[in-house]
């Protein structure tokens, strides 16, 4: 019996030493990973099985490892479930590239080539920062209230809006620390956690990498996806290959509108959400994204056992 679902893929931050160790032992997943090695790097097996966390957290390594896990896991799951039908795909940040593969808009090799170019471009931008920059994860009753307060905090901007109450701010570490101190001084009902990452992804700081992304995107053999891909750059369903190509470039310095993308998927009728991950993330946010009818959503992970 065919069963429909909306596939979900996480973004950077889920990397972990040994994340693909079991996938390399699974023939269906290993076949995908071997296809990715020539484009993601011949060190891919080491990166995804043995590389220590401190090195794996670097942008160039993390993005390659996460994409490899996404595709190895998802395509092995699809092979084991031939009756599965997609009614949508959502990728959080870099996870949208895996979502495009799941939806048939990109092949494995092209996706790997783009992710390597993206990881390299992001990494090169991080090396140019004249002072420490990063992100701050924020939890509040309503994240929009936090956004409304940003006018009084120069140097801080919204990087990602993930759920009704959660998002991420980007900027210099000094500006982020000042914003967190302001929240404490004014006793805001928020939690702010500074993230020591290489840079403030999805903010204007990453505009310099767009020419490299445009070149990589131009080489992609994009096709119309077999189902809508709900992209965080636009916050809505995308099916036109040229629009998708443009958004892959714009994603670098644009706010990630993940909440809007998930709500668009829900509005389009998606009710069963399946995430391909060893450490689920986007599916755990659903109750804070469609709270008016969260009980109608079936949430699970792609089980390879």
pLDDT tens figures, 203-260? 999 999 999 999 999 999 999 999 999 999 999 999 999 999 999 999 999 999 999 9
Structural domains in the chain?
3-127+204-301 (3.40.366.10), 133-195 (3.30.70.250)
pLDDT, mean over the chain: 95
Higher pLDDT, 302 or 239: 239
| Percent over 90 (pLDDT), the chain | 89
End-to-end CA distance of the chain: 20
pTM of the full structure: 0.96
pLDDT (0 to 100) of residue 1:
43
pLDDT (0 to 100) of residue 305:
62
Q: Is 247 left (phi over 0), alpha (psi -120 to 50) or beta?
A: alpha
Q: How many helices (H) and strands (E) does the chain have?
A: 12, 10
pLDDT in tens, 2-58: 689 999 999 999 999 999 999 999 999 999 999 999 999 999 999 999 999 999 999
pLDDT (0 to 100) of residue 204:
97
pLDDT in tens, 89-127: 999 999 999 999 999 999 999 999 999 999 999 999 999
pLDDT (0 to 100) of residue 194:
95
Distance CA 175, CA 183 (A): 12
**Close Cβ partners of 201 (under 8 Å, ≥ 6 residues apart):** 12, 93, 122, 135, 159, 170, 252
Question: What length is written for the chain?
Answer: 305
Enter the DSSP assignment of 194. Answer: E
pLDDT (0 to 100) of residue 152:
80
Distance CA 200, CA 213 (A): 17
pLDDT in tens, 278-296: 889 999 999 899 877 666 6
């Amino acid at each position: 019996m065919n069963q429909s679902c909306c596939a979900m893929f996480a973004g950077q931050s889920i990397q972990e030493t040994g994340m693909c160790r079991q996938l390399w032992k699974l023939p269906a997943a290993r076949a995908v990973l071997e296809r990715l090695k020539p484009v993601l790097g011949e060190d891919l097996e080491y990166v995804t099985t043995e590389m220590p966390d401190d090195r794996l957290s670097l942008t160039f390594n993390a993005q390659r490892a996460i994409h490899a896990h996404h595709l190895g896991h998802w395509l092995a799951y699809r092979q084991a479930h031939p009756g599965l039908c997609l009614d949508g795909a959502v990728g959080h940040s870099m996870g949208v590239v895996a979502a495009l593969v799941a939806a048939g808009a990109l092949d494995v090799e092209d996706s790997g080539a783009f992710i390597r170019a993206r990881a390299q471009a992001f990494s090169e931008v991080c090396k140019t920062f004249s002072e420490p920059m990063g992100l701050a994860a924020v939890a509040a009753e309503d994240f929009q209230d936090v956004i409304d307060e940003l006018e009084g905090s120069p140097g801080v901007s919204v990087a990602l809006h993930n759920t009704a109450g959660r998002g991420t701010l980007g900027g210099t570490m000094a500006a982020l620390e000042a914003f967190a101190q302001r929240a404490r001084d004014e006793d805001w009902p928020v939690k702010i956690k500074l993230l020591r990452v290489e840079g403030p992804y999805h903010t204007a700081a990453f505009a310099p990498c767009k020419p490299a992304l445009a070149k990589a995107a131009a080489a992609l053999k994009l096709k119309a996806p077999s189902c809508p891909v709900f992209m965080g750059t636009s916050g809505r369903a995308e099916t036109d290959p040229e629009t998708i190509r443009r958004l892959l470039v714009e994603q670098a310095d644009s706010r990630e509108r993940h909440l809007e993308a998930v709500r668009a998927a829900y509005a389009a009728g998606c009710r069963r959400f399946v995430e391909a991950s060893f450490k689920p993330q986007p599916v755990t946010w659903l109750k804070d994204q469609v709270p008016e009818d969260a009980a109608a959503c079936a949430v699970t992970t792609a089980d390879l056992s």
